Amino acid sequence: MRTANSRRRRTLTLFLSVFIALLGIGCEAAALDIRRPDVREFIDAVAKQDSFDRRRLRKLLRVAQTQPAIIEAMDKPAEKAKPWYDYQPIFVNEKRIQEGADFWLAHRTELDQASLQTGVPAEYLVAILGVETLYGRRTGHYRVLDALSTLAFDYPARAKFFQGELEQFFLLTREAAIDPLTAIGSYAGAMGAPQFMPSNYRRYAVDADHDGHVDLWTNWPDVFASIGNYFKEHGWNSGEPVLSEAALESDAAPTLDGRKLTLSDTVGTLRARGIRFDTTLPINAPALLIAVDQADGVHWRVGFENFYVITRYNHSALYGMAVYELAAALKARAPS
């Protein structure tokens, strides 16, 4: 009996060891199988639509590595996992403010030029860089090819979007002479200091110094002008406010949400619903109510059209508020 029990225990131990090993294999990067039907369909479509050589596409995708860590990161973004009182200190703190003020001083001339050309205040150009990449120092550590291939073919929830971005990446590398095998970016495939996705790189990036090449990794005039152009093309209104603190009339709170990132209200409709806030904008100006989770309960803010423009960079009210607060702190700290 003891021998039989020992044999069963050894068998169970062996089974568990094999199972754990298999789990470990599943967490490692693996080469993309270009024989998969969805990959083959993608290659055929890009080759036909964009006059890409099929052999080159197959060669590039054959060396792409599927990264399980990328999928894990996609499922746990800070914008969804953290309340505002935990999210805000990550991006609005003394270190990031002082480094941003120093960065602003070091690039003052280029920032002023980009601000003048686009109508976007310099503090917002700097704040975007502060939130996105710590002023260009953290631009990601994944190959863009690997990130986009992983999400295009092994992340069903957004496969169509990322297949489109992978196509845009191939077009970008062809147009801008970027090496598709060495370009590095975020886990989502965003590139350079401002973290532009490939489609945004092609659509909004600006050759500010007119050297015939757009470089969003190391060319600061290009970086600043491209962020400003992105805001301008998404509807930034020069000179208008971004955000206002708000208070509610006592009987208004039960009927309010503040969790929808849409410009479905106006200054006038929000005030008619018992929301009090200061602004010089007219009553028909678009606006949205924002519920802000603080440690002592829910507070309220009202975002205007320029706030909504910031959230086109990252579709999150938390992100928009972090950029707004960092920009305000930078403006107060930076030399006049």
Query: Are 222 and 207 in contact, with CB atoms under 8 Å apart?
Result: yes
Q: Which of 299, 279, 301, 298 shows the shortest CA–CA distance to 290?
A: 301
**Bridge-based pairing state of the strands 184-185 and 142-143:** antiparallel
260 Cα distance to chain centroid: 18
Positions marked active-site: 132
| Residue 291 backbone phi and psi in degrees, to 5 | -85, 125
Q: Which two tokens stand for residue 334?
A: 């930076």
One DSSP character per residue, 231-280 reads HHHTT--TT---EEEEEE-TTTGGG---------EEHHHHHHTTEEE---
